[in-house]
Structure 1
Amino acid sequence: MAGVTLPVVALNGPTASGKTAVAVELAHLLAASGIAAEVVNADSMLVYRGMDIGTAKPSVAERGGVPHHLIDIMDVTRSASVADFQALARAAIADCRSRGVVPLLAGGSALYVHAILDAFAFPGTDPQVRGRLEAELADLGAAELHRRLAAVAPGTAAGILPGNGRRIVRALEVIELTGSFTSTLPGWEYALDDVVQFGLEVARDVLDARIEQRVHRMWADGLVEEVTGLVGAGLREGRTASRALGYRQVLQFLDGELSEEQAREATITGTRRFSRKQLSWFRRDPRIHWLPAGQGSAGEMASVVRGRVLIG
């Protein structure tokens, strides 16, 4: 396929909208037309080894023989920042294109997709400054650091909840290193060439039911046992992994803060809330072409992608 421009295809949608299955079907449809395609994971939790049940990580069978990038590449003790994930995903996309393969970006929150596709720069970080501020967060609490932030950057503090310790620490770090901080996200400006984005639409009641069924299935499949095993692998020390939906609630159950039923219900409620937030973010992007999830959506996407490859 030398000389042919290969688009980057992004499949967006809230949790439980079926993005993985559609991505695999789309890859197969493109392959039938002689166009190779591979999936680039955009879900920051699928990168962790051992976090399988609670992340609804696609099994080898569910991947349908389609190569998937950025799955099972980190231990749970590692922290995967948006900046790190941006670099990893862009490298995977470039690798696919260099081999004549269409990259299918699937999964993840709108923030991660936005960071991967668009002109989205991140201020630097300093481990010593970050470590000192995190120690102060542990000793003094988020509210006190928020008051400090409000004293030096009231506009920034107004946009961050007083209990969001991670964002407060990051804002204070950036201010110390650069003198300023902005929480405003960049606009819609692709950093990658030839991008086409699709969104999967699912009725709210259907999505809510799917989320509830998924969480109950996770418990039945052994989520509590999975989390218990990961504690021994350092899950509690992983600042990102330990906060994942489902894992955080199971840790609270294991610590006696919640009953098992409360942990399960909190996971359902939290996932529904996150799903709504995802959809709200995706809806802000005017470049996404929305399609009803279900039979036929992958076929419509394949037609569009074939056209983009042929005219590239």
Structure 2
Amino acid sequence: MSDPEPIEQAPLIAVVGATASGKTGLSLELARRLDGEVINADSMQLYRGMDIGTAKVTPEQAQGTPHHMIDLLHVTEEASVADYQTQARGAVAEVRSRGRTPILVGGSGLYVRSALDVIEFPPTDPQLRAQIQAQLEEEGVVALREELREADPETASAIKDERRLVRALEVIRLTGRTFTSFMPQRVYEPNLKPVVQLGLRVDRPLLHERISARVHQMRQSGLLEEVRDLEAEGLRSGRTASAAIGYHQFLRVVDGLQTEEEAVQDTIVATRRFARRQETWFRADPRITWLDAPDAQLGDYAMEAIRRQTG
């Protein structure tokens, strides 16, 4: 008697692109068409209470579509891409176990890669990191940059901020390997296949308009009140959450350092810069099928792309 044919699992669909490009709308349409469930890949949507400023999907928008990897962390906690990888892949397996289609959606490039690709995360050592941080404060950034330049010139040329500098030195001292050596190749995790990545491409002037409109809507929806509520929950002590675009700017309003209108304009500028970085990140991945948005037939084009790649 011959072995039974393996049951083909539902494809893992990833919807990626810049902020305000329409990822949420397309993911919900695909969920309806493919009997799917959505898995969040926006690092800031992991935080409870950060709803307005992250454009988190509302129950009215979701219309019953299950969402995963949302509201997992308190604003004082640090998001970990390694933890996200484990949990997101667990969510993919759960969705598939129900015979449904997992739809990963978000614009946090490293989080998307961590979910989809073969990727190794370097270990951490809080005590060692604290030692390096103390060295930074005592000796200054120049000395540590020189150490990194000698050990890992490729990483040294790319790192601009002190936090990543400390992390790179932590990895080198802990493992004896360069930070660069942990950079992943573009290879899907075999157990996740088939995988289809769809990227949304919006003309730059229109994307800027959409970003501006979104930020103004966030203000009208009560972003300042949301920031005040989160501040009472300890937002300032959370390094990741407090630095999030919109929240950082509106904390300055709470402190009386700028007006609400100034915070809106600063948030628009910061979001546009972030969108450019997102576009650069995702354009570098040749596996992504790009779809022009917005378009009344976007869902049809997406479904056709999925059919082409999954047979």
TM-score for the superposition, normalised by structure 2:
0.89
Work out the CA distance in 1 between the residues paired with 2:299 and 2:87: 26
Which structure has more relative contact order (CA 8 Å, sep 6+)? It is: 1
In the alignment, which residue of structure 1 is the partner of 2:106? Answer: 107
CA distance 1:137–1:256, shift in 2 (3 Å): farther
Stretch deviating more after TM superposition (63-72 or 80-89): 80-89
Name the amino acid aligned to 1:189. Answer: V
The SS at the match of 1:113 is: helix
Within 5 Å, give how 1:242-281 maps onto structure 2: 242-281=242-281
Work out the CA distance in 1 between the residues paired with 2:150 and 2:254: 39
CA distance 1:274–1:175, shift in 2 (3 Å): same
In the alignment, which residue of structure 2 is the partner of 1:22? Answer: 26
Q: Does 1:5 align with 2:9?
A: yes
CA distance 1:37–1:258, shift in 2 (3 Å): same
Give the CA RMSD over aligned residues: 2.1
In the alignment, which residue of structure 1 is the partner of 2:292? Answer: 292
Deviation for aligned residue 1:141: 5.8
Deviation for aligned residue 1:155: 4.0
Work out the CA distance in 1 between the residues paired with 2:77 and 2:43: 12
Describe the superposition over 1:90-135 as per-residue Cα deviations: whole angstroms up to 9, x where unpaired: 1111111122111000012222212211111111111222233345
Work out the CA distance in 1 between the residues paired with 2:134 and 2:83: 23
Work out the CA distance in 2 between the residues paired with 1:158 and 1:3: 47
Contact 1:7–1:308 (CA<8 Å) still a contact in 2? no
> Which of 183, 186, 200 is equivalent to 2:184?
186
Deviation for aligned residue 1:308: 6.4
Stretch deviating more after TM superposition (176-185 or 130-139): 130-139
CA distance 1:219–1:108, shift in 2 (3 Å): same
Q: Does 1:176 align with 2:173?
A: yes
Structure 1: any 5+ residue segments left out of the alignment? 31-35
In the alignment, which residue of structure 1 is the partner of 2:233? Answer: 233
Within 5 Å, give how 1:1-312 maps onto structure 2: 3-30=7-34, 36-137=35-136, 142=141, 145-150=144-149, 152-161=151-160, 164-183=161-180, 185-191=183-189, 192-293=192-293, 294-305=295-306
The SS at the match of 1:11 is: strand
Deviation for aligned residue 1:295: 1.7
% identical aligned pairs:
50
Deviation for aligned residue 1:217: 1.1
Aligned length, in residue pairs: 302
The SS at the match of 2:60 is: coil
Structure 2: any 5+ residue segments left out of the alignment? 1-5
Higher helix share: 2
Contact 2:152–2:180 (CA<8 Å) still a contact in 1? no
Deviation for aligned residue 1:66: 0.5
TM-score for the superposition, normalised by structure 1:
0.89
